[in-house]
Amino acid sequence: MKARLAVFVGALPFVLAPPLQAQDLGPHVRKIKDGIYVYAAKPQDSNVSFILTREGPVMIDTGQTPADSHAAMGILKKLGSQPARFIVHTEPHDDHTVGDFVFSPPAVVIAHAGATESLRKASTAERNQKMAAEYPEMREILKGYRQVLPHIEYQNRMTLKLGERTFELIYLKNVHSEADTAIWLPGERVLWATAAVGVKRFPNIRPFLTIPDILASIKLMRALNPEVVIAGHGAPGTTRIFDEMERYYGLLLERVGGMAREGKTLEAIKADLRMPEFDDWAGKERFPSNVDAAWRAVKGN
């Protein structure tokens, strides 16, 4: 009896120690599944994700700003985790990659082919100067800034196995940047869907991107049958994020197509087109690029 009690008492502190709750990590961290967390300081900021494994964590993107990357480092420490082993970029743009220097070394950075070239051309120094001028606390953080280029560039598909988890990296062509990577965890059924999709946010459709390619990528991602969908920016959700984007592009193509058939010019369409269903979406200044892309799609070029 005594021996049993001793074992029981000895085990007590461990039994009573509550599992770490997401709220202990601050109001901006959301627990997705065991060992999977997403952080964004503001609703439209880029998402930073932490996926813990027995062999250390993998991060997906490193923050909207270097201040967010520092906050992300704090979260990783609170999770009691080892330093990040790998960083996977959903895209090369600054608002997803500027904080790599906070984690690498030792983290190894993985991106799709084309990411290095895109990062080299980016006006990151300018963006950093502007942020340092606007936010005094950023000045200190930016003193440590150094551009980190991907250590590994993969082509088309890549599988990363770490500890008990499998990460499938899937290139999405012409959806947002020069190198967009969706990340699929088949065991957990969690999908990082990149900026190919947004949450109540107009996309920035650059001239080299096409709506048919974006729709094809959404179809490809939906076919994975994910339980959780995490866009590049915005709250984690489900495949309803895909439904909403398809509804948006469907209506956009229908209306631009109709006006083009009436003989309206692109300029006239830009002036006349209304999408009242999406009035609550952020990033209205990007809408003209959406009309351009719809025009290219309906004109077949």
Question: Candidates 87-95, 105-113, 150-158, 205-213 — which segment interacts with Zn ion by CB under 5 A?
Answer: 87-95
β partners of residue 231: 194
CB closer to Zn ion out of 149 and 251: 149
Write phi, then psi, for 135 (nearest 5 degrees). Answer: -125, 105
DSSP 8-state secondary structure symbol assigned to residue 201: B
112 touching Zn ion, by CB under 5 A:
no
> What residue has token string 């601050």?
26
| Single residue of 93, 165, 233, 296 touching Zn ion by CB under 5 A | 93
Give, as ranges, the residues between 123 and 142 that touch Zn ion (CB under 5 A): none
- Check binding of 201 to Zn ion (CB under 5 A): no
Binding segment for Zn ion among 84-92, 101-109, 119-127, 238-246 (CB under 5 A)?
A: 84-92
**Among candidate residues 275, 268, 280, the one with its CA nearest the CA of residue 254:** 275
Instruction: Give 242's DSSP letter.
Output: H
- Of the candidates 229, 155, 223, the one whose C-alpha atom is nearest the C-alpha of residue 196 is 229
Closest distance of CB 195 from Zn ion, Å = 5
**Per-residue x/- mask for Zn ion, residues 211 to 250, rule CB under 5 A?**
----------------------------------------
Name the token pair of 271. Answer: 């002036």
Nearer to Zn ion, 180 or 188 (CB): 180
For helices 240-261 and 211-223, angle between their N-to-C axes, nearest 10 degrees:
150
- Could you identify the residue written with the tokens 């899937």? 170
Binding site for Zn ion (CB under 5 A): 91, 93
